[in-house]
Amino acid sequence: MSDASPRHFDAPRAQPSEPLRRFLQVARGAGLRVSAAEGIDAARAVDLVGYHDRTLLKDTLALVLAKTPEEKALYDEAFELYFRRAEFAKAASLDNAEAPAHAGQAGAADRADETGSSGPAPLLQLLDSDDRATLASALESAARAIGIEKIRLFTQKNLYIRQILDRMGLREVEAQIAALRASGGADDDERAQRLSARLERLRDAARDHVERALLLYGRAETEQLRERMLKSARLANIDPSQHERIRVLVRKMAKRIATRYAIQRRKRQRGQLDVRRTLRRNMGWGGVPFVTAWKQRRIEKPRVMVLCDVSGSVAWVAQFLLMFIYALTEVLSDIRSFVYTSSLIEVSEILERNGIDAAIAQVTDTMAFGTSNYGTSLEDFEAGWMREVTSKTTVIILGDARGNDTDPRTDIVERLAQRAKRIVWLNPEPRSAWGSGDSDMYRYAPYCTPARVCSTLNDLERVITDLLDRAR
């Protein structure tokens, strides 16, 4: 009894860790934020409820892993995909289908993992007996043995399918089928046809398993590749079907920058240790510094005025810049937003009142696709808001500086530069196009620190990050 108990106790605790580990990998790839502590909690929960009751397992892990409605939707999708089994495996018991790593499934599948074969043609025996439950178990065991969780690209599917079948003993079965057909006997020919049909069904099952693994394990890599491509592509060239995905990327980038800046700002606000005040505060403890005092200084959040050209192709870049700035309101104390074509209006209240998506749509419908006139737009700004610009104000101007051969009014930009802390000009055109045709960019550039190309999300992120890093 004493010898049997430890083995009976250890097996259930050790066995579920591998399928759970793979599921947590899948969940993270699907977008869930699963910390190490939550992974430990999930392992303890699985120890308690096991894999036998699928609904109970799903609800239990959901309480541990899904923290928001969005994460709940991602979790449901990942769980159903990971624990789903195809028609091929329906004959298996619930325990076998949902906990493939359990000891009850060792048998021929585990022996195949160790040596690549077990006994005389184990796959041939399974196909002869049409034992679908054991075949499903052997298929999953072979997939784990070849490292199916490493699949990342759809071009790898056929390679993994072949490796799984070879691991199960495909070559022996193919050789046996060829020998049966060569014998010429009626019984042998019938058996060869039967084995061929069942082998084809096994290939279909392996294909389904690999495709599901690609969805499970390749999603994170695919999403990261897509995000890198979208962030480096010119916004004006991105297909409209990808605009919603771009909006999601903008929100993620803005949140990441805001979090990083908030941490840095808290560190700066803490200041340097004030030794004299620290000693004075701790005189009651014999000078032991239980309570510290810091030399603090007031940190001003940057004040920002954003002027966005919303004409033509520049409109899309302006929309994403407004979204970016709007998402950073928690670290920017004073944001004033303006849009212009041939005239300029303030849209700060529209953004605050309607929410970012609806507000941008309203602004675009009101002002977009007009003819650019930088001179009259700058005149509107000087008349209405120049007096509100101070030495603490950063002015961000987004535009291609093409005024259709109108007066650029560089004198207004010069006066603005004298009043403001800095002017940052973001031009969506490549630098090689500056100064060509009706472009007045090189007339404005001397008053801007800096004037930069900003045609991608990567450019936009660098500009905003630099703006916050320079804030004092």
**Domain assignment of residue 7, yes or no:** no
The answer to whether residue 121 is domain-embedded is no
Give the per-residue pLDDT at 363.
77
pLDDT at 220: 66
Helix H, strand E, coil C: the string for 56-69 is HHHHHHHHHHCCCH
Let me know: does 338 contact 344? Beta carbons within 8 Å. yes
**Within a domain: 188:** no
Task: Please list the pLDDT of the chain residue by residue as tens digits (472 residues).
Answer: 444 433 333 333 434 477 888 888 888 877 788 888 888 888 888 888 888 888 899 999 999 898 888 788 888 888 887 887 544 444 443 334 343 333 333 333 443 444 344 443 488 888 888 888 888 888 888 988 898 888 877 788 899 999 999 999 888 888 888 888 888 788 888 888 989 999 999 999 899 888 888 877 777 667 777 778 888 887 777 777 777 777 778 777 777 777 776 655 555 555 567 777 888 777 777 767 767 777 665 555 558 888 988 887 677 777 777 777 776 665 566 788 888 888 898 888 887 777 767 777 777 777 766 788 899 999 999 999 999 998 888 898 988 899 888 999 999 999 999 999 999 998 988 888 898 888 999 999 999 988 988 888 888 888 777 777 665 4
46 found inside a domain: no
Residues in the chain: 472
Domain assignment of residue 274, yes or no? yes
In a domain, 255, yes or no: yes
Supply the pLDDT for residue 327. Answer: 67
- The CATH number assigned to the domain holding 294 equals 3.40.50.410
Q: Would 73 be classed as within a structural domain? A: no
pLDDT given at position 301: 55
Structure confidence at residue 21 (pLDDT): 84
In a domain, 346, yes or no: yes
Q: Which residues contact 248 (CB under 8 A, 6 or more apart)?
A: none
pTM above the 0.75 mark? no
Task: Tell me how many domains the chain contains.
Answer: 1
At residue 125, the pLDDT reads 86
Cα–Cα distance for residue pair 428/233, rounded to 1 Å? 12
Domain extent at residue 411: 245-469
